[in-house]
Structure 1
Amino acid sequence: MTVTDDTTAPAQRRAPRIRTDAARNRVRILAAARETLVELGPEVPLDEIARRAGVGNATVYRHFPDRGALLHDVLLFVITRTAEFAEGAAAQQADPFGALRGFAHAAVDERAAAVCGLFTAVEQDGAPEDVYAEIGRLRLALEELMERARRAGALRPDVTQHDLMVAISQLTRPLPGLECRDTDAHRHLDMFLDGLRPHPAPPATPTPIGP
Structure 2
Amino acid sequence: MDDGARGGAPRGRRREADRNDVRLMRAARAAFAELGWDAPVSEIARRAGIGMGSLYRRYPSKEALAQRMRVLAMDRLTEQATAASARHPDPWTAFTAFLRDAVSDQEPGGPLLRLLGGRLPSTGEVAAAAARLRSALDALVAAAHEADALRRDVGPADVPLLLELLSLRIPAGAERSAELRSRYLELVLDGLRAPASGDPLTGPAPEWRELHAMWNAL
TM-score (norm 1): 0.76
**8 Å Cα contact 2:36-2:115 kept in structure 1:** yes
Q: Which residue in 1 is equivalent to 2:150?
A: 155
Could you give the per-residue CA deviations for residues 61-93 of structure 1, whole angstroms, max 9, x where no partner exists? 221111111111111111111112122210022
User: Deviations 1:134-182 (Å, cap 9, x if unpaired)?
Assistant: 112111111111111112121101112233222210121237xxx3554
Rg (Cα) greater in structure: 1
Alignment correspondent of 2:182 = 186
Give the whole-Å Cα distance in 2 for the aligned partners of 1:97 and 1:46: 43
Q: How many Å separate the matches in 2 of 1:116 and 1:33?
A: 14
- For this pair of structures, how many residues does the alignment match? 189
Q: 1:38 to 1:100 in 2, by over 3 A?
A: farther
- Cα distance change of structure 1 residues 98 and 53 upon mapping to structure 2, 3 Å threshold: farther
Q: 2:59 aligns with which of 64, 79, 90?
A: 64
What's 2:99 paired with? 104
Cα RMSD after superposing both structures: 2.7
Distance 1:200 1:160 in 2: 14
User: Does the residue aligned with 1:120 lie in a helix, a strand or coil?
Assistant: coil
Asked if 1:42 corresponds to 2:40, the answer is: no
2:120 counterpart residue number: 122
Equivalent runs, 1:19-58 vs 2, <5 Å: 19-58=14-53
Stretch deviating more after TM superposition (53-62 or 139-148): 53-62
**Where do 5+ consecutive residues of structure 1 fail to align?**
1-5, 203-211
User: Which SS does the other structure have where 1:121 is aligned?
Assistant: coil
Conserved 8 A contact 1:113-1:173? yes
**Conservation of the 8 A alpha-carbon contact between 2:32 and 2:39:** yes
TM-score normalised over the length of structure 2: 0.74
Shift, 1:187, TM fit? 1.8
Contact 2:167 2:181 in 1 (8 A): yes
Over residues 165-210 of structure 1, what are the superposed CA-to-partner deviations in whole Å (9 max), with x where a residue is unaligned? 22210121237xxx355432122112111210024759xxxxxxxx
Q: Does 1:195 align with 2:194?
A: no
- Residue 50 of structure 1 deviates from its aligned partner by 2.2
- Using the TM superposition, name which of 163-172 and 29-38 deviates more: 29-38
The residue type paired with residue 159 of structure 1 is V
**Is 1:167 paired with 2:162?**
yes
